[in-house]
Amino acid sequence: MSGALKEVRNRIKSVQSTQQITKAMKMVSAAKLRRAQDAITQMRPYAQKLQEMLSNIVSNTDGDLNLALAAERPVEKVLVIVVTSDRGLCGGYNSNLIKLAKQIIKEKYAAQYAKGNVQVLPIGKKGYEHFTKNGFTVVNKYWDIFTGLSFEKVQAAAGYAMEAFANKEIDAVELVYSEFKNAASQQYIAEQFLPVQKVVAKAGGKKADFIFEPGKEVLVKELMPKILNTQLFKAVLDGNASEHGARMTAMDKASDNANELLKSLKISYNRARQAAITTELTEIVSGAAALNG
């Protein structure tokens, strides 16, 4: 019986050690989440307004500008940008993003994928490792963006996509990322990054009227890449906040599960201990009875 008691004691110690780690990771993620949440909260209205303005400008040029980044053409080659995290232990965060990206590739771009004309640009180590191991054509330049996250690093990745599209090496760019809602909730999104989408005019709606200074062509060509850089940066900040929220929630649940397991193990330990004591008492009483007999 002592062997059984020792085994349960060792399990209790192991679960307690794991619980200390999960609690520490929850606290670290909570601290990082506050900073990441502040960053995306401040960035989102600015990025959304820029995207709205860009879509309106593209919709109202009436074909008088040759906008390379808004050119719609038959889609032969596709680039899919997937924003995951560098580390795991964040619940289903990474697996859900990878699943969505693969679903988009195999449903929306099935014909292009069958011809080997789909490239994946992963941002985050987990996405890079998965798509590399599973035989996808991977752009391996920008997966480590979260190591010292900055606008300049994201700008380089966006620049790669824009240059490939403008040079007609790619005909469409899809962006897969997680939009941060709150610590316990993320929304997994796939949206068109290139070509720049036009605003669909509502029935009876008025066109936006812009006064351009300097000229329309100069302004749009200068403005469009900057807005697209901002859009990708917003997606990366969304992903960063989503990762920490998902990890904080996962570690909180893991700590709660450890508590439940500890309760169960302590009950098992007490039962085994009581059984051992009962057995020892029975042996003592039996021995005393034998001596007296």
Active site residue ranges: 90
Q: Which residue blocks in 60-124 are alpha helix, DSSP H?
A: 93-107, 110-114
Query: What's the CA gap between 88 and 81, in Å, rounded?
Result: 19
Q: Which amino acid is at 114?
A: A
CB 245 within 8 A of CB 33: yes
Cα separation values, 54 from 30, 51, 57, 72, 234, Å: 35, 5, 5, 16, 15
Cα separation values, 241 from 24, 116, 237, Å: 18, 33, 6
Contacts of 36 (CB under 8 A, 6+ apart): 180, 237, 240, 241, 243, 244
Nearest to residue 227, comparing CAs of 188, 190, 197, 189? Answer: 197
Query: What's the CA gap between 93 and 6, in Å, rounded?
Result: 38
- Tokens representing residue 157 in the block: 């990745």
The burial class, CB within 10 Å (0-12 / 13-18 / 19+), for 35 is exposed
Query: What's the CA gap between 143 and 131, in Å, rounded?
Result: 11
Query: What's the CA gap between 82 and 143, in Å, rounded?
Result: 9
Question: Cα dihedral angle (17, 20, 22, 28), rounded to 10 degrees?
Answer: -140
Q: Output the CA angle 73-76-77, nearest 5 degrees.
A: 110
